[in-house]
Structure 1
Amino acid sequence: MYGKLAKKDIDSTIQIYQWTNDMYELRRSLLRVEECLSRGICKSKCQNEEFRPKDCSRLDKKIHKSGVFKIFPDSGSGFKVYCDMDTDSGHWTVFQHRTNSTTIFNHGWTGYKNGFCDINAEFWLGDSLAYHNDTRFSTKDNDNDKNGSQNCASVYTGSWWFGACHYSNLNGVFKGSGAKGINWYYWRKTFDTIQTSTMMIRNRKL
């Protein structure tokens, strides 16, 4: 009797598992069709289309957990990003993350344009802040700051949206000294370097 009951329970569990998988595949299919239609592709052609989310906001939290996904902001071949699906309701595209000193962030313009390092660790994902509003991004080899006498990116060893020069610089030197470190002045009214930073963006319509 016990053996029969156990078998019945196992059969029920397997059936529930199969239903769960079916619902998962159905949701994936619906997401794929929705994405195709948003790009003007007729429904009949959507069946064989790859799921091409424009950004992390297109992911479904019931299916997609925080991790690396390929997004397609335009009609190009796409690129991989880290999507944070947990913080503050999720759907964040992470474009900067720092936790230690393994990655040097004092790159030139091309490095910041193309992105660099390990998407699963520390990185900058390609291309803010009252004082820094209306400022342009500067690197050590492309000076766009508002300081007429020096290149702030060179002086403070980190690329950023510099004015003349900064009250924040999350791309500064890890554990650097004073204003040459990873700074966010108005957090504690000090230029003491902070240990970790993450920068994320998401669609305002969420």
Structure 2
Amino acid sequence: MKTLLCLITFAALSAWHVGAEQENVPSGNPGNACPIKMKNGGKCDEDGNCPYQITLPPMTLQLPKQWQLLEKTLKEVQSLKEIVNNLKKSCQDCKLQADENTEKENTEVTDGGQANQMQDLQSKMKKMSISLKNARTQINNLQDQMEKMSMNNVDDYIDRKIANLSSTLDNVNKCSDNCQAKEGITDIQIFFKDCSDYYKMGKRLSGIYQVMPDPRNKTFEVFCDMESMGGGWTVVQSRKDGRISFNRTWDEYKNGFGNLSGEFWLGNDRLHLLSKSSNMILRIELEDFKGIKEYATYDQFYVANEYLKYKLSVNGYSGTAGDALHFSKQYNHDQKFFTTPDKDNDRYPSGNCGAYYSSGWWFDACMSANLNGKYYEKEYKGVRNGIFWGTWQGVSDENLNSFRQAFKAVRMMIRPKDFSS
């Protein structure tokens, strides 16, 4: 009975561990276990298959070598199972890769459409760029042409158009359809453009004269200085006693105000006509209450018409008073528009320089010179709203609490640059 039990135990062990090459002792009580021995029982064949011997006291059994084949078969089955599992995994990877490729192909198709759209857009952008480049070239050419034209030519063109319209209206008003010129009557008139023409004709006395800078406009009166600095000067501004207020409107500065024998502003329209008729130089004369006299001369002086806001062009300084009209980048009166208390054309963003300083002038933001400021008979404090020339000696040291420089007399005069006495 004991032997039968050992055989059963051996059969069970053989199913789980076929081909063992050492002794196997079943689990359980060592005292009751049967001493089973299992070992190689003979020569192995060329394929490495060996017979086994199992010793079951008191017997020994010789097992055929096919028992080892069972073990090898089990191992091969296990190996095949692993191969099958690997193939399944590979197939899954293949499917995932295929899905990914399909999605990629769809994406490539979509991207291809977008690429075509991008090419179209790039083509359109290129055409637009060429068009803009051509337009820019045309604009640059126009700018070059405009730069070659002087401001005088532009103003002259505008003035000619205005004069032609005025002349047409005058003819309509004066003549009927059957109006005919009188025959046999010839009027010879000599026009004097400015005071220098009177000087050339032998006039040497300073005083009031009639001038006509443009034959298409009416004559007007000016004060001529025929004695100072070679004579022939047309005075366009004069300050000497403070009897005339220079806190005036745009229209008053346009048409002029004051007394030609005393204090006056000749008028911006007349300044334009005079400076357009010839290349003018400007001479400014100043005198303070200490009797100090200085002057500033500019080789170029031009005032544009009202359409261009009486823009000032002034350059070529020489003299003793200093170049206050080109004081700094912030305070530069050249190429500035005319501003009055009721018409703000200055560069000051927070207010009207004309209203603040109570005068009309070619303000910047706001000023380094203002010859139309309030007339003070002595030094004053507070806002610098008096006659001002920023390069006058001692002016730069002034502050809000100190006394301001006052001027006794100021004159602005113009004369053709080619004048010779």
What is the TM-score with the length of structure 2 in the denominator? 0.37
Q: Give the equivalent residue in structure 2 for 1:167.
A: 368
Alignment partners' CA distance in 2, 1:83 and 1:157: 28
Aligned partner letter, 1:59: Y
Q: CA deviation at 1:63?
A: 2.9
Q: CA deviation at 1:160?
A: 0.6
**1:152 correspondence with 2:347:** no
Aligned counterpart in structure 1 of residue 390 of structure 2, from 177, 180, 185: 185
Q: Give the equivalent residue in structure 1 for 2:244.
A: 103
Alignment partners' CA distance in 2, 1:198 and 1:63: 21
Q: CA deviation at 1:85?
A: 1.1
Alignment partners' CA distance in 2, 1:53 and 1:158: 31
**1:67 correspondence with 2:225:** no
- The 8 Å contact of residues 143 and 153 in structure 1, kept in 2 or not, is answered as yes
Matching of residues 29-44 of structure 1 within 5 Å: none
Question: Gapped runs of 5+ residues in structure 2?
Answer: 1-183, 269-313, 315-324, 327-331, 396-403
**1:77 correspondence with 2:218:** yes
RMSD (Å) for aligned C-alpha atoms: 1.9
Q: CA deviation at 1:135?
A: 1.0
CA deviation map 1:141-181 (0-9, x unaligned): 11111101010010011111101111111100111645110
| Matched residue SS, 2:407 | coil
Alignment partners' CA distance in 1, 2:366 and 2:199: 41
Aligned partner letter, 1:203: P
- The 8 Å contact of residues 52 and 71 in structure 1, kept in 2 or not, is answered as yes
Q: CA deviation at 1:60?
A: 2.6
Q: CA deviation at 1:49?
A: 2.7
Q: Give the equivalent residue in structure 1 for 2:338.
A: 137
**Bigger Rg, structure 1 or 2:** 2
Q: Give the equivalent residue in structure 2 for 1:5.
A: none
Aligned partner letter, 2:251: T
Q: CA deviation at 1:195?
A: 1.5
- The 8 Å contact of residues 204 and 227 in structure 2, kept in 1 or not, is answered as no
- The 8 Å contact of residues 206 and 223 in structure 2, kept in 1 or not, is answered as yes
What is the TM-score with the length of structure 1 in the denominator? 0.73
| Matched residue SS, 1:73 | coil
Q: Give the equivalent residue in structure 1 for 2:260.
A: 119
| Matched residue SS, 1:198 | strand
Identical pairs, percent? 39
Question: Gapped runs of 5+ residues in structure 1?
Answer: 1-44
| Matched residue SS, 2:355 | helix
Q: CA deviation at 1:54?
A: 0.7
Q: CA deviation at 1:184?
A: 0.6
| Matched residue SS, 2:391 | helix
What number of residue pairs does the alignment pair up? 161
Q: CA deviation at 1:202?
A: 0.9
CA deviation map 1:20-54 (0-9, x unaligned): xxxxxxxxxxxxxxxxxxxxxxxxx9x85343201
| Matched residue SS, 2:408 | coil
**1:55 correspondence with 2:268:** no
CA deviation map 1:116-162 (0-9, x unaligned): 11111110001152121111110011111110101001001111110
**1:198 correspondence with 2:337:** no
Q: CA deviation at 1:196?
A: 1.0
Runs of 4+ in 1 over 3 A off after TM superposition: none
Alignment partners' CA distance in 2, 1:97 and 1:125: 9
| Matched residue SS, 1:153 | helix
CA deviation map 1:45-97 (0-9, x unaligned): 9x853432011121136334111000001122210000111111111110100
By percentage of residues, which structure has more helix?
2
Alignment partners' CA distance in 2, 1:83 and 1:189: 33
| Matched residue SS, 1:53 | coil
- The 8 Å contact of residues 182 and 195 in structure 1, kept in 2 or not, is answered as no
| Matched residue SS, 2:251 | helix
